[in-house]
Each structure stands twice: as structure tokens, then as C-alpha cells.
Amino acid sequence: MQTFAYERPATLAEAVALLEAHGPDARVLAGGTDLVIRLRDGSARPRVVIDVKRIAELSPTIREHEGIVTIGATTVMTDLADSKLVRRLFEALAEAAAVVGSVQIRNRATLAGNICNASPAADTAPPLLVYGAVVVATGPQGTRRIPISEFFVRSGVTTLERSELVVAVELPVPTSRTGAAHLRRTRRRGHDLASVTVCCSVDANGVTRLSYGSVGPRPVLTVDETGVLADPTAADAAKAPILERMFADASPSKRSMRASPEYRLAMLRVLGSRAVRTAIERLASDAPVEE
Ligand SMILES: Cc1cc2nc3c(=O)[nH]c(=O)nc-3n(C[C@H](O)[C@H](O)[C@H](O)COP(=O)(O)OP(=O)(O)OC[C@H]3O[C@@H](n4cnc5c(N)ncnc54)[C@H](O)[C@@H]3O)c2cc1C
């Protein structure tokens, strides 16, 4: 491992100044579950590592205010999965957080780190896309809000500027009743990255939002507003062509060691249809979250 300076700023302004001063030589450290591996294998060689866990503005809080749920950048998967607020309003995000890695990983891995790492297999990406999340980023020019649909570029690359930090992720509280589900396929039981990761939501107005990852360079969001997919009485034969159109943007890599493109596409169809069915069932049951 290349040696590096370690900085632990106490304020957001200090962190942004450090990022600006060191440019490409600086890397942000949150839970470290992705970064430390890359430091060890030499694929990341920063001269300065900036630990953001002590910055008050990035604190691990989940709060609702005026129709927006704000999740602080250093919120870890365990807290997301356990949050009653998240489970009640964004059930599929809680489900995704609950399957990331192992207990130890979930206790360290942050939501912001998961999206900034921009792995196509990131489990929280499909639910964040389905729920219309907005990434709050702060840099030398101030703070801006990036719709999550404009955040991912390709593996390891986002639309975040080099001197910007993710401060929080915002989720609009759904305005109509919604059922949602997150499903994924891994090579083996135990902790493994997804070969396919899928999220679907169906709302009371008949809108279906389906998002999938690990089948292309970045996660994809598709929307069906015909009402057919969301209709529990519609025949599978009517739904199949709509789903096929929604899966059209899947382009799994031939070079991945995790699964063949054929397998991923087959699993995408299975999990996609299953996620739609589960979302419809959940919308119909509208079961309250266990307290
Ligand atoms: C054994 C193992 C199993 C795993 N299993 C899964 C899995 O099942 N599903 C899954 O999705 N992921 C999995 N991961 C990947 C990882 O745990 C997640 O991506 C995690 O959420 C990353 O968060 P972190 O806080 O650890 O990020 P870090 O490692 O600290 O950072 C990751 C990247 O994001 C940048 N970054 C972090 N925070 C910010 C910020 N606030 N602003 C700007 N940039 C930032 C860092 O500079 C770095 O480039 C696994 C990892 C391991 C080691």
C-alpha cells in the first residue's frame, strides 16, 4: 500500500478546502469498505485520504421535514435497514440496505459511499432510482442537488465534481400509496455482490417504476404509465411485452467473472417479474411496518 496523509476535518468547509487543495491526489474516506480494499490492492493511490465521519453536516441522521426524508451522508446500511421511517416509506431501500455484505460491512458501509463508488452492482442504486432520490453535493461553488437519475455515469464514475462531497441523500415522501420490493441474485449465499439487483414500485395511480443494476455500466430506471403492469388482474401475456421493453437497456458485460450475459438477462426477467408481483401484493395489503 502506498503511504498517504490522513486528514480528519471537523467541518464541511475544511473538507471541501482539502479536496480543492489536493485535487486528484485526494480521496474521501467514509466507511472504507470499498476504498480500503482499493488502497490495499493499489488500484487507488491517493496522497491524502480525507475521513469525513467527524463532519457534523454529514452526520448519520435520518429525518423527515416538509415531505422530504433526508439521509445524512455517513448513515450506514444497518441504520437504514432498521429505521422505522425508511421501512414505512421506502421499504425497498430498507430491504436493499439489509442485504449489503455482512453484519460487519453493514455497520461500516455508508449510503453515500455506496453511490459514490458507483458500482453497477450497488444494491441501493435501484431503490434510490425508483424513489426519485436527489443527491445533495457541496463543493467550492456551493451546494447543488443532483437527481439520482443523472448521477451515475459508469463503474466508478459519477457526475460529482472532483472537489464535491455528498452531504446527504433526499427522498420525496410518496404522495400516493405505494408498494415496492427489492430483489437480487448473487452467485452464492453469504456476502457477495449482486449478479442482478432489481427494484420495483407500483403506486395507486397505476404507475410502475422498475430499476435494475449489475446488467450494464450503470443502473437503469424505466417507468410504465399504461397501468397494465400495475393491474393485478391483467394477464401475464399483456405484461410480458411491456417488461421486455423495460429490460431493453440491459447490456451485461461479456468479461465479468460473476455471471454470463445470458444468465444475467434470464435472471433479470425472473426477478423483474417477481418484483412487480411483490410490489402489487404489498400495495394491496398495505401492511403497517412492525413497531
Ligand atoms: C465483503 C464486502 C461485501 C460487499 N457487499 C456488498 C453488497 O452486497 N452490495 C453492495 O451494494 N455493496 C457491497 N459492498 C461494497 C460496499 O460495502 C458499499 O459500496 C459501501 O456502501 C461503500 O460505503 P463506504 O462508506 O464503505 O465507502 P468508502 O469505501 O469509504 O468509499 C467508497 C467511495 O465513495 C467515495 N465517497 C464516500 N463517501 C463520500 C462522500 N460523502 N462524498 C463523496 N465521495 C464519497 C470514496 O472516496 C470512495 O471512492 C461490499 C464490500 C465488501 C468489502
Query: pLDDT by residue (tens digit) across 212-271?
Result: 999 899 999 999 999 999 999 999 999 999 999 999 999 888 877 778 889 999 999 999
Per-residue burial over 71-104, b = 16 or more CB atoms within 10 Å of its CB, e = otherwise: bbbbbbbbbbbebebbbebbbbbbbbbbbbbeee
Q: Amino acid identity, residue 8?
A: R
Phi/psi at 5 (5° precision):
-80, 145
Query: How far, in Å, CA of 246 to CA of 244, rounded?
Result: 5
Q: Where are the beta strands (DSSP E) in the chain?
A: 5-7, 26-29, 48-51, 62-65, 68-72, 134-139, 142-147, 152-154, 157-158, 165-172, 178-186, 194-203, 208-213, 220-224
Task: Decide which of 187 and 236 is more confident.
Answer: 236
Distance 173 CA to ligand 1 centre (A): 25
Measured from the Cα of 58, ligand 1's closest atom is: 41
132 φ/ψ sector (left φ>0, alpha ψ -120 to 50, else beta): left
- pLDDT on residue 196: 87
Distance 81 CA to ligand 1 centre (A): 16
Measured from the Cα of 122, ligand 1's closest atom is: 11
- pLDDT on residue 2: 86
Measured from the Cα of 116, ligand 1's closest atom is: 34
Query: How far, in Å, CA of 59 to CA of 218, rounded?
Result: 28
Measured from the Cα of 167, ligand 1's closest atom is: 41
Ligand 1 shell residues, CB under 6 Å: 27-35, 37, 52, 73, 100-101, 105, 108-110, 112-114, 116-117, 122-123, 165-166, 191, 193
Cα 61 to the chain's mean position, in Å? 17
Asked whether 101 and 33 are in contact (CB, 8 A), the reply is: yes
Q: In what order do the strands lie in the sheet with 178-186?
A: 178-186, 194-203, 208-213, 220-224
52, 74, 117, best to mutate for ligand 1 pocket (most atoms within 8 Å of CB): 117
The fraction of the chain above a pLDDT of 90, given in percent, is 88
Distance 139 CA to ligand 1 centre (A): 20
Domains of the chain: 5-51 (3.30.43.10), 56-172 (3.30.465.10), 180-285 (3.30.390.50)
Segment 17-21 mean pLDDT: 97
Q: Model's pTM, two decimal places?
A: 0.96
6, 18, 28, 41, best to mutate for ligand 1 pocket (most atoms within 8 Å of CB): 28
70, 80, 114, 124, best to mutate for ligand 1 pocket (most atoms within 8 Å of CB): 114
Shortest-distance Cα residue to atom 23 of ligand 1: 113
Confidence of residue 291 (pLDDT cuts 50, 70, 90): very low
The per-residue pLDDT of the chain, averaged, comes to: 94
Confidence of residue 201 (pLDDT cuts 50, 70, 90): very high
Contacts for 225 with CB less than 8 Å, ≥ 6 apart? 206, 207
Judge whether residue 49 has pLDDT over 70: yes
Shortest-distance Cα residue to atom 40 of ligand 1: 166
